[in-house]
A = this chain, B = another copy of it.
Amino acid sequence: MRHRLKDVAERAGVSVKTVSNVVNGYQHVRADTRARVEEAIAELHYRPNLSARNLRKGRTGLIALAVPELDTPYFAELARHVVAAAAEHDWTVLIDQTSGGSEQERKAAGGIGEHMIDGLILSPLALTADDLANLDGLPMVLLGERVDRGAADHVMIDNVAAAREITTHLVGLGRRRIAAIGSQRTPEGASARLRLAGYAAALAEAGIAYDDRLVAPAPAWHRADGAAAMRHLLTAGVRPDAVFCFNDTLALGALRALHEAGLRVPEDVAVTGFDDIEDGRFSIPTLSTVAPDKERIARLAVELLAGRLTTDRDAPPRELVAPHRLALRESAPLA
């Protein structure tokens, strides 16, 4: 029931290649031939076999987006933007979940089955520079923290600056015992280290001593981890008057823990997050956060990939910084 170029060609009384030319919008086809072919295509419901086309052309029109978790709002929102940006280049996006495992990430980077995708946008957690070095060929754009200087194209935001800005905002609200939630000592914790550095820098600027006990680790950055870390801070007796959470889901968990402890936000404890996910615009209270320009991140990533796929296959890797801004809402309001 599936038809091939050959079937269409026979029906239209032309050669296979002429049908191919019509399908591909090749210019030099006489109007009446084109019409006849198109009629035959419609009658047979012909659809090109992309596997064959890909084999012949050496490209698949497919790019992959590999993220640690699909059901993390930040990545879901990012994925939407990537899909939209890729569509403008006539690419279909294959979304892959790596679970942050280095094995999975290497597999994704290895090509999800070589030759199946033209390029990869990877948001790495566990991938090391060595892993990247072993990957010859597949054009790749990394999102988030730098794995290693100049290993591949890269799109990021200025994590240190952003963390510093929002911490400074908390300082501006008169808070002095500002906690941080989300620190990680594992190699995967590159974002955590940068955000912690920004936090520390802001404190130093304000002349506030850095207090280790106010910094709570979080194994993952989920709501449950945020809640647990917040509870830990509250029972440890360090009495924070503000909390900078390293992402929004941590912050939502922290809000929950504060609520359960009977503390008011922002009166007793101001809370800030990072990522500007949809949830934070409707939580109670709404969440002050760092808002990376996700749309821009996605667009830059796709365009870097596009560049690598066309002209500059061997150009030196580029690093682009996407803008961010502070979205100040109820949990740590403007003043």
* Interface flag for A15 (CB, 8 Å): no
B-binding segment of A237-245, A278-286, A298-306? A278-286
Contact A116 B76 (CB under 8 A): no
Q: How far is the CB of A253 from chain B (nearest CB, A)?
A: 6
Please name all residues of chain B whose beta carbon is closer than 8 Å to the beta carbon of A73 when the two chains form the complex.
71, 73, 76
Q: How far is the CA of A108 from the CA of B18 in the complex (A)?
A: 28
Interface membership of A289, Cβ < 8 A: no
CA distance A227 to B20 in the complex (A): 53
Tell me which of A42-50, A168-176, A198-206 binds B. Answer: A42-50
User: Is the pair B49, A114 in contact by a Cβ cutoff of 8 Å?
Assistant: yes
Interface residues of A in 95-137 (CB under 8 A from B): 95-97, 110-116, 136-137
Please tell me how many copies of the chain the complex holds. Answer: 2
**Which residue from B45, B76, B111 sits with its C-beta under 8 Å from A47?**
B111
Give the shortest distance, in Å, between A277 (CB) and chain B (any CB): 9
A28 on the interface (CB 8 Å rule)? no
Please give me the residue from chain B that is nearest to A72 by CB atom: B76
Question: How far is A197 from B98 in the complex, measured between Cα atoms in Å?
Answer: 41
* Given A70-B76, A97-B83, A110:B47 Cβ within 8 A: yes
Q: Name the CB-closest residue of B to A75.
A: B76
With beta carbons under 8 angstroms apart, the residue of B45, B94, B110, B223 that contacts A92 is: B94
Given A94-B94, A136-B45, is A259 in contact with B284 using a C-beta cutoff of 8 Å? yes
A-side binding surface: helix, strand, loop or mixed?
mixed
Q: Measured between alpha carbons, how far is A114 from B61 in the docked complex, in Å?
A: 13
Q: Which residue of B lies closest to A257 (CB)?
A: B282
Chain B residues within an 8 Å CB radius of A77: 71
Number of interface residues of A (CB under 8 A): 52
Contact between A116 and B282 (Cβ–Cβ < 8 Å)? Answer: no
Say whether A162 faces chain B, with CB atoms less than 8 Å apart: no
A55 to B55, CA, bound (A): 8
CB contacts under 8 Å to B, within A26-72, are: 45, 47-52, 54-55, 60-62, 69-71
> How many Å from the CB of A64 to the closest CB on chain B?
9
- Which chain B positions have C-beta within 8 A of A80? 69-71, 97
Give the contacting residue for A52; candidates B50, B55, B97; CB below 8 A.
Answer: B55
CA distance A136 to B3 in the complex (A): 12
Whether, in the assembled complex, A79 has its beta carbon less than 8 Å from a beta carbon of chain B, the answer is yes
Question: Quick one: closest B residue to A258, CB to CB?
Answer: B284
Contact of A282 among B60, B61, B70, B227 (CB under 8 A): B227
Closest 4 CB pairs of A and B: A47-B114, A51-B54, A71-B76, A49-B115
**21 intermolecular pairs with C-beta atoms under 8 Å apart:** A2-B115, A45-B136, A47-B111, A47-B113, A47-B115, A48-B115, A51-B54, A61-B113, A62-B94, A62-B116, A70-B79, A71-B79, A92-B112, A94-B94, A94-B95, A95-B95, A223-B279, A224-B282, A252-B279, A283-B283, A283-B284
